[in-house]
Amino acid sequence: MKQGFFKVSTGEFGPGRPLVVAELGTGHGGDPVKARELCDAAAEAGADCVKFQIVYADEILHPNTGEVSLPGGKVRLYDRFKELEMPPDFFREMKEYVEKRGLLFLCSPFGARSAGELRALEPELVKIASPELNYTALLREIAGWGLPVLLSSGVSRLADIEEALALLSGIPVCLLHCVTAYPASETDYNLRALESLGRVFGVPLGISDHSLDPELIPALGTALGAAVIEKHFCLSRDDPGLDDPIALPPASFARMVRALRRAEGRPAGETIAAYREERGEALVDAILGDGVKRLAGAEKTNYERTNRSLHALRDMAMGEIIGPGDFAALRTEKILRPGLPPSWAERITGRRVRQFIPAGEGIRFEDL
């Protein structure tokens, strides 16, 4: 197999022929009919792979995380995630349907329960979302499966990526360059980071794209050697899915696929020159960036909030001993304080609480 490529049942993918992933996420709303319709539309639009998420709210955030504004008013973010929980049979049915369509089934787990259910489905590869890049226990679990992993790297620094790849050592990993913002600005993508990340880590690189434009990031990323292009997919941006407002509807997704197929067939310089002429030199050069991996502007305030840290599951009084069921590695989000990294889980177990820790808040070094 050529360097930088990976092989699955549906083909061999790598620089010059990226795997095109339609991220359905939870946009199906738990409706098998709509899920099949999404799969059909993704296949017809040119996707190679469709991706789902196995969501359990308790694995992702604390009930006290805060609220999210929806068309019907504000609701607890935790409750919104509870609405997205689906039984294992739903994903088994979806996997069978996806594979009958000749596509690759992909899914993200978010904790031990969802990981166990995903493993039972016997997938060919696994996706780890950006907020879970530092989730030590989950990465160790996935590493034990020996399957190829697509690892998103939004809202992360070089050291975070290095630690994650060390935990996944010995299995094939494709690192997905990503900006964790919804939507993300095209000019935040710094696509030349694909080249520098490849030199630093020596793994295949791809892109998880949250920008609104159907062509710029996918086509320019393909020109720079992306082995995977992932983009959110919907039937309509007016649909009620969490990610539907930034997803591509079928016609736009098909346009994206045509653009990156054109990029596959010609030298990188020609693709870059064509977009400079069509969209403007300043815009394209801003998208390409300087190649230095750094937090994008939209990510800086979310670092240590979007990713995982250790949070109290109950009120803990001064003098109490912390047990393994008293905390979890969760996303902090907006209103709670971040805690210690998930890698500290074993070190805080058995420690005495120095000062009151409210339920939901991050457990800090000074709390122990």
Radius of gyration, CA atoms only, the chain: 20
Alpha-helix residue ranges (DSSP H) falling in the chain: 32-45, 57-60, 77-82, 88-100, 112-120, 136-143, 158-167, 193-201, 216-223, 250-264, 268-279, 281-288, 345-348
Tens digit of pLDDT for each residue in 258-275?
999 999 989 999 999 999
pTM for the full predicted model: 0.96
Within-domain flag for 296: no
Residue 36: its pLDDT value, please?
98
Q: Judge if 248 and 310 occupy the same domain.
A: no
**214 and 356 co-located in one domain:** no
Q: Which residue's entry shows tokens 């949250």? A: 210
Q: Report d(CA 135, CA 168) in Å as an integer.
A: 12
Q: Does residue 236 sit in the same domain as residue 309? A: no
**Contact 143/167 with Cβ under 8 angstroms?**
yes
pLDDT digits (tens, 9 = 90+) for 264-317: 989 999 999 999 999 999 999 999 999 999 999 999 999 999 999 999 999 999
What is the pLDDT at residue 59? 98
**Tokens representing 43?**
């296949």
Same domain as 324, residue 278 = no
User: Is there a single domain that holds both residue 321 and residue 284?
Assistant: no
Q: Which domain holds residue 166?
A: 7-288
User: Is 150 found in the same domain as 281?
Assistant: yes
pLDDT of residue 70: 67
For residues 183 and 212, the answer to whether their CB atoms sit within 8 Å is yes
- Do residues 203 and 315 both lie within one domain? no
Residues of the chain with pLDDT under 70: 1-3, 70-71
